[in-house]
Amino acid sequence: MRVVLFAFGVLLLLTGACTADNTSADELYAAGINAYLNGSYEHAGDLFNQSMLVYDLRGDADNARKAFGMRNRASWILIEMMLNRTQAEEVLAQGLSELSEAERSNILKPGESIQTESDGQTRYFYDVANNAAYHNTTIMQEISRKANHSPFFDEVFPLITNNTSFDGWYGNPHTFIANSSISLPRELLPANGTLKVWVPLPIKTDSQKDIRILNLQPEQYIVSGPVTDGDLGQVYYEIPLSEMDGPFINISADYEFTTSERRFIIDQNSIAPYDTSSDLYRDYTQTQPNIEVNPGIKNISRSIIGDEQNPYRKARLIYDYIIRTYPYSTVPHTYLVGSQTPESTYMFDTGFGDCGTQSMLFAALCRAAGIPARSAGGYQLAPGLAGPHFWAEFYLPGYGWIPADVTIAESADWAFDKSDADREKFKDYYFGNMDPYRYTIQNDVDISFTPDPGNDIIMNMVHQTPALVCHESREDIEMLGMQYWNITLSEVGQPGRADMTE
């Protein structure tokens, strides 16, 4: 298998000039905060941009960067919420022509699709048509039928039904070579200053081993790393822009790793009690920024598990509940980050969520039930369907971290020509087992790079793409990094087609 993945973003740069009157930078910034808090994000972005320009003219770099960060945050809130009502209707008409006009109109009602209010108008998420399809099993099965292909099911079910002998809980290893790079046009960066770059790398886990770093460039500017153990893999560069005189700034990381299938055999009736005084238990049963254990989630968790006391069976009840209740859908992560909305809470409140959001809600519900849980991530590498991915893991004493991938499990419902028994077998597999097509970068969300970029980056919860910071620039360098980043993953000895999916 050979898979080419491209991570890209839409580059949105707010422009503006200083106001003609004598309004101070502080007043402009304060007005921007007021507009932001009142949901006028376009106006807020313009005000932040104007205040940034005035601060720069005054030589006030610290406040200029503060305004610059808020300008970017305001733009990120809307960057994926790009459709007005007319445009959303057109997208639905093109993508879901089999639905009636009344059915498509119903999709655009509040609560039926992802939307927000800004600057006096309703803004709709660009992927409104796909999300409507994801929430309709009949449509998804018809899409699979027309393609004569049930994604994920066709790729993984033969592996699930293969009675390969395992030596313990791990087997069926697959080795991948990754070639990743950024080729950033030099003209987009200032003449002087420092470009700071954090590039993600694989980490050693019980199922991911034999990591070999093959090449890191430009080697002379590596400040720390490579790190391939712990909870987050990375290498950190500081590149002096004054020394960069070519047309591009090129950064690359090539490496190899082996990942194995996981098949846990668990004696449900002999699970030892948790050590509730341990750091692991404390860390993975508390609230964190995107796995929020709020009162509503606690109440639903209690209603799901009822009187069940066994942690394995509790987790299975939560797993089944999410598959039944929360169908997959893409979400505007930049909106969630910009508005500081926890991922787990967003899905709990709205019913919309992708692999990361589903896995974070699973973890939140488990934590509310006293089960340590987390959301691990990187990429899934199923042949022909590779792309960024997150999945959940919960902890059992004596066994360690047990995988649960509600997203891939749910794809069984999209299969058009499978029996109910096979669909259930597929779902059963992804609770307590995991296919070998995984590339793990981080063991949990909300883990920071080292050194911590802090508020200099917005996407600080997941690290599937590099983080870029340049204090001297007034471009959105983080989005530029996403736009010019690419990664190719090739399975050793398995040539195949190139493809990409998220």
- At 118 the three-state DSSP class reads strand
272-292: average pLDDT: 97
Whole-number mean pLDDT of the chain? 92
Q: What are phi and psi of 362, to 5 degrees?
A: -55, -45
pLDDT digits (tens, 9 = 90+) for 462-478: 999 999 999 999 999 99
Q: What are phi and psi of 48, to 5 degrees?
A: -60, -40
pLDDT digits (tens, 9 = 90+) for 314-355: 999 999 999 999 999 999 999 999 888 999 999 999 999 999
The confidence band for 10, taking pLDDT boundaries of 50, 70 and 90, is: very low
Which pLDDT value is given to residue 3? 34
List CB contacts of 228: < 8 A, sequence separation 6 or more.
201, 202, 203, 204, 211, 213
The confidence band for 168, taking pLDDT boundaries of 50, 70 and 90, is: confident
Higher pLDDT among residues 162 and 121, named by residue: 121
**Rounded to whole angstroms, how far apart are CA atoms 42 and 78?**
8
- At 393 the three-state DSSP class reads strand
**Rounded to whole angstroms, how far apart are CA atoms 303 and 288?**
22
Which pLDDT value is given to residue 493? 80
Architecture label for domain 153-163+265-431: Roll (3.10)
Which pLDDT value is given to residue 26? 95
Tokens representing residue 195 in the block: 């470009």
Q: What are phi and psi of 2, to 5 degrees?
A: -130, 125
List 182's β-bridge partners, or say none. 251, 485
Judged against a pLDDT cut of 50, whether residue 18 lies above it is answered with no
The confidence band for 22, taking pLDDT boundaries of 50, 70 and 90, is: low
CB count within 10 Å of CB 21 equals: 5
The confidence band for 162, taking pLDDT boundaries of 50, 70 and 90, is: confident
Judged against a pLDDT cut of 60, whether residue 21 lies above it is answered with no
Q: Are 1 and 490 in contact (CB under 8 A)?
A: yes
| Weakest-pLDDT range from 21-35, 180-194, 214-228 | 21-35
Judged against a pLDDT cut of 80, whether residue 164 lies above it is answered with no
**Rounded to whole angstroms, how far apart are CA atoms 440 and 87?**
38
Which pLDDT value is given to residue 163? 73
Q: Which amino acid is at 379?
A: Y
Which pLDDT value is given to residue 13? 34
Phi-psi region of 500 (alpha: psi -120 to 50; beta: other; left: phi over 0): beta
pTM, entire model: 0.92
| Weakest-pLDDT range from 159-173, 358-372, 432-446 | 159-173
Q: What percent of the chain has pLDDT over 70?
A: 94
User: Alpha-carbon torsion 28, 29, 35, 41, what sign?
Assistant: positive
| Weakest-pLDDT range from 18-22, 38-42, 122-126 | 18-22
**Rounded to whole angstroms, how far apart are CA atoms 477 and 457?**
9
Q: What is the DSSP letter of 272?
A: P
Is 419 buried (19+), middle (13-18) or exposed (0-12) by CB count in 10 A? exposed
Chain centre distance of CA 363: 15
**Cα 253 to Cα 7, 250, 300, 325, distances in angstroms:** 15, 10, 44, 40
**Rounded to whole angstroms, how far apart are CA atoms 45 and 12?**
11
For the chain, give every residue range classified as CATH 3.10.620.30: 153-163+265-431
List 391's β-bridge partners, or say none. 376
37-52: average pLDDT: 96
pLDDT digits (tens, 9 = 90+) for 92-121: 999 999 999 999 999 999 999 999 999 999
Which pLDDT value is given to residue 439? 98
The alpha-helical segments, DSSP class H, found in 256-306 are 279-283, 295-305
The b/e string for 94-111 (b: 16+ C-beta within 10 A; e otherwise) is ebbeebeeeebeebbeee
255-274: average pLDDT: 96
Q: Are 72 and 36 in contact (CB under 8 A)?
A: no
Q: Is the previous residue joined to 383 through a cis bond, with omega within 30 degrees of 0? A: no
Q: Which of 41, 50, 51 is nearest to 73 (CA)?
A: 41
pLDDT digits (tens, 9 = 90+) for 211-242: 999 999 999 999 999 999 999 999 999 999 99
Q: Which of 56, 129, 63, 57 is nearest to 96 (CA)?
A: 129
Q: What percent of the chain has pLDDT over 90?
A: 90
Pairing of strands 433-434, 400-404: unpaired
Which pLDDT value is given to residue 166? 79
Q: Cα–Cα–Cα angle for 83, 86, 89, nearest 5°?
A: 90
Which pLDDT value is given to residue 459? 87
List 224's β-bridge partners, or say none. 236
Question: H or E element: which one contains 467?
Answer: strand 467-469
Q: Which of 293, 323, 337, 490 is nearest to 407 (CA)?
A: 323
Which pLDDT value is given to residue 495? 58
**Rounded to whole angstroms, how far apart are CA atoms 74 and 478?**
14
